[in-house]
Amino acid sequence: MTTTPVQHLKAELESTQIFRNTSAYLHNLPRDKSDTLLLLCACAMLQLPHFVHLSWWTSAICSGLLLWRAAITMRGQRLPPMWLLLPLAMLCMGGIYLDFHTLLGRDAGVAMLVLLLTFKLLEMRARRDLFVVLLLSFFLLLTTFFYSQSLSSLLWMIVTLLLILTTQLSFQYIGVQPPLKQRLRLGSMMLAMALPLTLTLFLLFPRIQGPLWGLPGDAHGGRSGLSDSMSPGNIAQLALSDDIAFRVKFLDPQPPPSKLYWRGVVLTHFDGRTWTPGLTRRVAVDSDSAAAAIAPRSAATSVRQQITMEPNGQRWLFALETPQMPPRLDGISTSMTVDHQLRAARMIGDRIRYDVVSNLAPPVADHNDRAELQQALALPPNVNPRSREFAADLRAKAPSERALVAAVLHFFRSENFSYTLEPPLLGRDSVDDFLFSSRAGFCEHYASSFVFLMRAAGIPARVVTGYQGGETNPVDKMMTVRQSDAHAWAEVWLPSQGWVRVDPTAAVAPNRVETQLSNVLPRSFFGRLLGPALGKSNWWSALSEAALIARANWEALGNSWNQWVLNYTPARQQSFMRWLGLGEFDWRSLTLLMFAIGAVATGSVTLPLLLARNRRDRLDTLYSALCTQMARRGIPRQQYEGPRTYESRLCAADSPLSPATKNGVSRFISLYETLRYGADYGDAHDKKNIPPASLMAQLKLLLSQCR
């Protein structure tokens, strides 16, 4: 059924009228309803970031309760009784216990706090309950830092805090309430006045190694990143994530894309499906000892990197192949194994930054650990028989180990193998199924099958997982390595060279090591459908370019936030104190300095406010002087009397004042009323309406006549 232009215009007019009626209705709401709705909006903004990590039923219950409370407010209904709310709250607490098997810890505690705040909104019957809700809101606002300390989270929290402060101010007014815009401005001023003290505490509060208190065991859960095992499909899942793994600042010329292999975990043990780390011998933790155990590096092939790694809940560190020594971390011991894995002594639960030096040249065969090589040959029995036969056949035809490696890569390159994020499921003999049936997989499929073939042919081999490539930000020149850059490759032992990197994925998708993953993988259905049409569109190209520029600027800003704010370590604090010329400070001196500067910062904000509060208007001062004089003569002004009523009583026939004094009082009050309530001088707070000095002098003269 088609609509005529008249019907379409009529529908637009009706929708416009509905919008106007709704706006007028909200504008004319009673004060208690508008204040309550403002509080509900603040609580909704407060809870929205937590819905990302809360269970679905917790988010649904909180949303439903907020809507219920809004409906009660709009309709003017009574709040639900306690006999209904208490069982619901107990059921929710039981659900949290079933979810987390505890009522303690970060996740369970935050979930309970979100639910308790929402239930408290339905039990807000007295003014005391209102302030309980506001205090709970301030506390819940801090828990957002448990999950994210990014710049976007900070901006959202500032807006939420402003709305909470505005709500608190709205409930404080007893008489006439100013408009919402004015209340928001006052809340912004309160936030701005807190900035000097906040900045002082941030810069000068004594920093210590590690947190002030220990977080519960679940505080670092939910991190995305590489795990310490590899099975078909787990790296492909990471390829769908755009989260940042780490950022890199090169202190030397940046290597080409084909050299950007970020070494992470070495996997040696294979059970037929999953690769896990084997037993490795650690090098001494001290960097000098580690350097002594490594062949000297060449300055021409060494690359210095400054890596800022996001928390991943694991113990390993990343660096370009091949790292030369473990980095130094504040408060965390590090080590490097003989297979060049960088490890931290504890789990990485916070953002860290470290410097590391890597040698891009292939490592020299400086050791020949028989146990290590034997472990790199082990295979589970009775799995993948076809792959074993294929490896034996290749071994019989290949004149050397290097020729055998080339033969397997040629097999991958020449046969109908494909590189995809959605490979078919593999059976018990996963390598056989991949090599001879599906022939479709991601990097872990190729690395796993290649290492299996090498071991079956008698060549020691192992899997290495990490990241490959990265994206250089044109704004700050920092390289960003994302979870989508996760990669797996292989290493084989050649007697004349030692461990040599081989990337079998490059034999199938050679562009994988030269460009981003999105340019290598095939498009989805909608990408194939819309890609050609949108690619020819000028507006789409301009929009894509603008989005890339905005993303680069935002990530550069976020990196600056990470480097200068979140990474403000004790060492950086000492450097800042030396930059100020204050030399070395211990924590006691730093505390005294913090209190001194904090007092100055607080005084610079509060003293002008106190002076402005105690400053009286000159007109009011003169009028108060007149009232004081008349009170001494036995005619005090009553609280309900205005200037004109007071003048009538002072100038009455039975007044004890002399005629000259009555004349002076009458002229004084007439001039005072003109200056105070007249159209030209009525606004005493507007500097443009200050009375001229001549009229003020005349008023003082009349006051002296009244004496």
Answer yes or no: 445 catalytic: no
Inter-residue contact 456 to 379 (CB < 8 Å): yes
* C-beta neighbour count of 66 within 10 angstroms: 18
Q: Strand, helix or coil at 498?
A: strand
Candidates 215, 211, 221, 212; CA nearest to 104 is: 215
Element (H, E) at 99: helix 82-100
CA distance 473 to 476: 6
DSSP 8-state secondary structure symbol assigned to residue 317: E
Given the residues 443, 445, 485, 706, the one annotated as active site? 443
DSSP codes of every residue in 425-470:
P--SSHHHHIIIII-EE-HHHHHHHHHHHHHHTT--EEEEEEEE--
Candidates 367, 372, 374, 314; CA nearest to 344 is: 314
What is the bridge-based pairing of β-strands 319-320 and 261-267?
Answer: antiparallel
Given the residues 35, 340, 503, 706, the one annotated as active site? 503
DSSP 8-state secondary structure symbol assigned to residue 210: S
Given the residues 62, 107, 487, 706, the one annotated as active site? 487
CA-CA distances (angstroms) from residue 213 to 148, 200, 315, 607, 643?
Answer: 18, 22, 21, 36, 64
Chain position carrying tokens 């000297």: 296
* C-beta neighbour count of 49 within 10 angstroms: 19
Answer yes or no: 41 catalytic: no
DSSP 8-state secondary structure symbol assigned to residue 417: -
Distance of CA 196 to the CA centre of its chain: 23
CA distance 241 to 219: 21
- Paired tokens of 72: 């009660």
CA distance 687 to 696: 15
DSSP codes of every residue in 43-75:
HHHHHGGGGGTS-HHHHHHHHHHHHHHHHHHHH
Inter-residue contact 168 to 134 (CB < 8 Å): yes
Helix, strand and coil content of the chain, in percent to the nearest 5, comes to 55, 10, 35
Give phi and psi for 186, each to the nearest 5.
-65, -40
DSSP 8-state secondary structure symbol assigned to residue 346: S
DSSP H helices in 257-305: 287-292
339 phi-psi bin (left φ>0, alpha ψ -120 to 50, beta other): alpha
Q: How many residues does the structure list for the chain?
A: 707
DSSP codes of every residue in 242-254:
--EEEEEEESSPP
Q: What is the dihedral of CA 666, 671, 677, 681, to 10 degrees?
A: -170
DSSP codes of every residue in 627-656:
HHHHHHTT-PPPTT--HHHHHHHHTSTT-S
Q: Name the CA radius of gyration of the chain, rounded.
A: 37
Candidates 49, 19, 32; CA nearest to 146 is: 49
Supply the residues annotated as catalytic.
443, 487, 503
